Amino acid sequence: MHMKNIIPMKKIPLFTLCLFMLGACTPEANRENLTQGMNDYLSKHGNLCLAKQNWPIEITPADFAAGTWDAVQMPVLQKLGLISVSDVSVKTKDGNKTSVTMIKRYQLTEDGKKYYLTRESDIPASSDGKHSPKGDLCVAQLTLDKIVAWEPLTDNNALKETLVTYTYNVKAATWLQDPDAKRVFPMIDRVVQGAHVAQLKEAFVLSKNGWVAKAWHN
């Protein structure tokens, strides 16, 4: 026997050793490792945002007449001191006819910029593989309260997968308690009020690094 061909067991990672044994010891899904995976997921992707990525935001008289979400929400954010507004004239051309329309242009104030979170996108912006910054107006951070349950493991394209149900904690901007903010951001208010009670679900897959959220698994 040639000793140089023997690999010391202590140097083989557990996950690799399982592969050598043809799947004889697939790491199980349990409260401890799913909690670790959920904490990691929420630390990176647990921000609750308003889908207001691009600023300035311009509102036309037609938007106000139609009662679009931006038309309803912008005046409230302005009242709360998070954005400022200016009247801007915009020229539009229809054939040989030129008309001027007055619109409202909303910009983030210094207080508003405190809530604008920019992070690197997980999707490459171009063929060079570089990631572009992606921002949004984020008003709360979710963290794990507890794992409630998880479903039996399934095989999906050779990946072990489970669906995790959990409750959460919320650290939210104080101005979200304003009655008008609650009115114009009802879904955000529902999530904030659901802390410790409402149950959310997230699919997890088993990777070489343990259990990770399926939506962010590469």
Tens of pLDDT along 88-107? 998 877 777 888 889 999 99
Task: Return the closest-CA partner of residue 195 out of 165, 164, 170, 174.
Answer: 170
Q: Which two tokens stand for residue 217?
A: 């698994």
Task: Look at the block and give the residue holding tokens 């990631």.
Answer: 131
Residues 6+ apart with CB under 8 A from 153: 29, 160, 161, 162
Return the bridge partners of 116, or none. Answer: 137
- Chain mean pLDDT for the chain: 85
CB 163 within 8 A of CB 201: yes
Reported as a pLDDT band with limits 50, 70 and 90, residue 5 is: very low
CA distance 10 to 182: 57
Ordered alpha helix ranges (H), the chain: 14-20, 31-45, 61-66, 69-79, 110-113, 179-184, 186-193
Q: Quick: pLDDT tens for 149-184.
A: 999 999 877 789 999 999 999 999 999 999 999 999
